[in-house]
């Protein structure tokens, strides 16, 4: 009879579950090949003992970025040749006094590598002519980036593969990284095979019977409108202008195109990227006033020029950071390295 490890597994939704068995090499399974899953794989490779024998199996039925991570950053289709970083800089207008005080605190106490500048109306207008600031204050993150999600994830997987090759070439133990285009239907199917199973499935974690209904998930459906500035309009978005983060975010794709998105439907179970006419009309009716309140110059003219796609999504780059913590917790067998709010569900009576 196998004895479960005291280490429960980590999920990007995110939580620890499960089992372990002493073996001659370290074996880890990662469920999901999105931002969190690939971040976990990379940091397991990076932080594991250099002379260890290590095997990482990544399971994702679609492949790299096949879920919400792959479309969450609002990149139009047919953009396979696009750069990973679409645009640098994000501008966030203050929308309420509470919001402004929180952002000011972040600006004053944030990491030096995550610089946040507090700027007034004139400063914001210099960055984005025509922008509206309800409280005449906004926060500018010059180093923040808007990325092409699929290309970013493909590059991250390539970085994992290159790291495996580099470690093996130096004779630092045997390292293996394998991508399986398969679904894991039950965690128990993997029992005894791995030291840990790291669950990074997002909303699809509910498909695992061992975790279904046990996690305090709050899923949501996001919608993304791809908008093109009509030819008859003379205005263009500034070449070096930042993207805008507000109730509805605006991710700039070029001088005459941008994407507009927002959380649309809370507690949604709809993970399809297809948006039908009724949902599109309803979503635009809600999204456009949010966007117009901040950047009215072109949004009204764009209202009927685009199309929408949808997904169930979350803060994907946050999940990338979280993947690093998961890897540290797994390798050290110290669950306390994971933020408390991600493990508190286990101490709640069902």
Report how far Cα 21 is from the mean position of its chain's Cα atoms.
Answer: 31
User: pLDDT value at position 70?
Assistant: 56
When pLDDT is averaged across residues 73-101 and rounded to a whole number, the result is 72
Residue 68 has pLDDT above 70, yes or no: no
Residue 81's pLDDT band (cuts 50, 70, 90) = low
Pairing of strands 137-147, 117-120: antiparallel
Segment 260-288 shows an average pLDDT of: 73
Arithmetic mean of pLDDT over the chain:
77
pLDDT of residue 350: 54
Supply the pLDDT for residue 239: 78
Q: What's residue 341's pLDDT?
A: 73
Task: Note the pLDDT tens digit of each residue in 88-120.
Answer: 889 999 988 998 998 888 888 877 777 889 999
Model confidence at 11: pLDDT above 90:
no
* 88-146+218-314, CATH topology level: D-Amino Acid Oxidase; Chain A, domain 2 (3.30.9)
Q: How far apart are the C-alpha atoms of 269 and 318, rounded to whole Å?
A: 22
Mean pLDDT of 258-269: 71
Choice between 296 and 308, residue whose per-residue pLDDT is larger: 296
* Position 73 confidence tier, pLDDT thresholds 50, 70, 90: very low
Give percent of the chain above pLDDT 70: 76
CB 168 within 8 Å of CB 174: yes
pLDDT at 145 over 50: yes
Per-residue confidence at 227, pLDDT binned at 50, 70, 90? confident
**Looking at domain 26-68+149-216+317-347, what is its CATH homologous superfamily?**
FAD/NAD(P)-binding domain (3.50.50.60)
For the whole model, what pTM was predicted? 0.78
Q: Hey, where are the domains in the chain?
A: 26-68+149-216+317-347, 88-146+218-314
Q: How far is CA 165 from CA 26, 50, 171, 225, 227, in A?
A: 17, 13, 10, 40, 42
Sheet holding 196-199, edge to edge: 175-180, 54-59, 26-31, 196-199
pLDDT for 161: 95
Interval 29-57: pLDDT, tens: 999 998 889 999 999 999 998 888 999 99
Q: What is the pLDDT of residues 165-222, one digit of tens each?
A: 999 888 878 899 999 999 899 999 998 899 999 998 877 888 899 888 787 777 777 7
User: Sorting pLDDT into bands at 50, 70 and 90, what band is 127?
Assistant: very high
Identify the pLDDT of residue 18: 40
Instruction: Indicate whether 301 pLDDT > 70.
Output: no
| pLDDT of 15 | 42
């Amino acid at each position: 009879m196998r004895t479960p490890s005291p280490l429960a597994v980590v999920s990007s939704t995110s939580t620890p579950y499960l089992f372990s068995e002493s073996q001659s090499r370290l074996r880890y399974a990662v469920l999901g090949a999105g931002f969190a899953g690939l971040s976990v794989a990379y940091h397991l490779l990076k932080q594991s003992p250099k002379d260890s024998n290590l095997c990482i199996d990544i399971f994702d039925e679609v492949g790299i970025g096949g879920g919400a991570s792959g479309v969450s950053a609002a990149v139009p289709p047919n953009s396979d040749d696009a750069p990973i970083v679409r645009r640098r800089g994000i501008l966030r207008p203050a929308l309420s006094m509470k919001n402004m005080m929180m952002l000011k605190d972040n600006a004053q106490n944030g990491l030096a590598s995550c610089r946040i500048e507090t700027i007034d109306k004139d400063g914001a207008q210099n960055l984005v002519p025509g922008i509206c600031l309800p409280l005449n204050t906004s926060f500018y993150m010059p180093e923040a980036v808007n990325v092409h999600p699929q290309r970013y994830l493909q590059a991250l997987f390539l970085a994992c593969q290159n790291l495996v090759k580099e470690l093996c070439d130096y004779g630092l133990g045997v390292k293996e990284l394998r991508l399986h285009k398969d679904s894991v239907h039950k965690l128990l199917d993997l029992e005894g095979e791995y030291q840990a199973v790291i669950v990074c499935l997002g909303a699809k974690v509910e498909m695992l019977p061992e975790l279904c209904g046990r996690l305090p998930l709050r899923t949501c459906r996001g919608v993304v409108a791809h908008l093109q500035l009509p030819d008859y309009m003379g205005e263009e978005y500034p070449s070096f202008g930042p993207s805008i983060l507000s109730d509805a975010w605006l991710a700039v794709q070029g001088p005459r195109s941008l994407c507009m998105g927002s959380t649309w439907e809370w507690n949604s179970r709809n993970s399809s990227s297809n948006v039908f006419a009724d949902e599109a009309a309803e979503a635009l009716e809600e999204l456009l006033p949010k966007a117009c309140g901040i950047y009215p110059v072109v949004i009204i003219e764009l209202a009927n020029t685009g199309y929408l796609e949808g997904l169930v999504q979350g803060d994907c780059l946050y999940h990338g950071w979280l993947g690093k913590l998961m890897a540290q917790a797994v390798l050290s067998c110290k669950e306390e390295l994971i933020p408390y709010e991600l493990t508190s569900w286990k101490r709640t009576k069902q």
